[in-house]
Amino acid sequence: MTVRFGLLGAGRIGKVHARAVDSNPEARLVAVADAFEQAAKDIATAYGAEVRSIDEIEAANDIDAVVICTPTDTHADLIERFSKAGKAIFCEKPIDLDVRRVEECLEVVEKTGAALMVGFNRRFDPHFMAVKKAIDDGAIGKVEMVTITSRDPGAPPVDYIKRSGGIFRDMTIHDFDMARFLLGEEPVSVSAHASVLVDKTIGEAGDYDSVSVILETASGRQALISNSRRATYGYDQRIEVHGSKGMVAAENQRPVSIEVANEKGYTRPPLHDFFMTRYTEAYANEIAAFIAALSKGQKAAPSGADGLAALKLADAALTSAREGRTVRL
């Protein structure tokens, strides 16, 4: 069976998903929609698809699934529409920045029985997948403590920051999802500290750029997250998981692994400087996982409920940081 796809949104990430669909032998890109028609046309031409409107894709009989890469504030509406239209849905994170709106949306999805997968791409990074596999294989015994480091090479424009929902909902949310994925238990309390150390204008926009978070589960498992909007040395993405029998860690990635030694020491190049090169394989793998789940009639994960759970942790962390108190969920 070939899964026939419509792509909603032909921007940067839309291109990535289009390529992933096209290169998957069990999928085919049928149509592309975008408010900016030339963008849609470019992708459509490259992969032998048609340009269509969102309405046309919604009504199409030759489309089984959609990939939603439109602006965040359209996600929930589109999920509802395409759920009702009987399409399987892959939606870029987040479903919405507002927990209530996400809950409403997920009720619709539940009623319609639509397949919904949310784009927490990091679960599909080969290195993080190998960490998860090591845990599942029992290599470190029972999980006890998770440490996640996530630092961006540089802060996005303040305009983006303003629309982003803030660092916890935009950036840390990936780490909340990863923590849930690795802890194997739901966090029940959150302590967060947040500061503006990188860029004052981020603070003036009401957001933070440097955060530390502790999550704790009912049985006492802990996750530590540290985030910064700046890392001069590249995109710092590390995970380590400690268990009763040992530890497993995923190292940072760099485009080339060479080392130059001279009287100043031994120098390896900076890390990847961009999330799309750092997570190239993750993006391809997540679409492949979505297609595989559809083909086998299995549930795709991360689900809408995963998206909601991460968002709730983001909200709790924001409250914790703002009010200077541990928040219980």
Handedness of CA 158, 160, 164, 169 (dihedral sign): negative
- State in angstroms the smallest separation of the CB of 329 from a second copy: 12
Edge-to-edge strands, sheet with 88-92: 50-51, 27-33, 3-8, 65-68, 88-92, 116-119
Q: Is 104 or 273 the residue whose CB approaches a second copy more closely?
A: 273
Residues engaged in binding a second copy (CB under 8 A): 126-127, 129-131, 134, 139-140, 144-145, 147, 149, 151, 189, 191-193, 195-198, 210-214, 216, 219-222, 224, 226, 228, 230-233, 236, 242, 244-251, 253, 255-270, 320, 324-326, 328
DSSP codes joined into one string, 110-142: HHHT--EEEE-GGGG-HHHHHHHHHHHTTTT-S
- State in angstroms the smallest separation of the CB of 167 from a second copy: 13
The encoded tokens of residue 205 equal 């926009």
Q: Which of 291, 314, 253 is nearest to 4 (CA)?
A: 291
- State in angstroms the smallest separation of the CB of 193 from a second copy: 5
- State in angstroms the smallest separation of the CB of 212 from a second copy: 5
Place of tokens 């004052």: 200
User: 254 with 234: CB under 8 angstroms?
Assistant: yes
List the Cα angle 99/101/105 in 5-degree steps. 115
- State in angstroms the smallest separation of the CB of 50 from a second copy: 18
Q: Is 35 or 130 the residue whose CB approaches a second copy more closely?
A: 130
Q: Is 58 or 175 the residue whose CB approaches a second copy more closely?
A: 175
Q: Which of 49, 56, 100, 58 is nearest to 80 (CA)?
A: 58
Q: Is 79 or 179 the residue whose CB approaches a second copy more closely?
A: 179
Element (H, E) at 204: helix 200-204
- State in angstroms the smallest separation of the CB of 327 from a second copy: 10
Q: Is 137 or 159 the residue whose CB approaches a second copy more closely?
A: 137
Q: Is 106 or 134 the residue whose CB approaches a second copy more closely?
A: 134
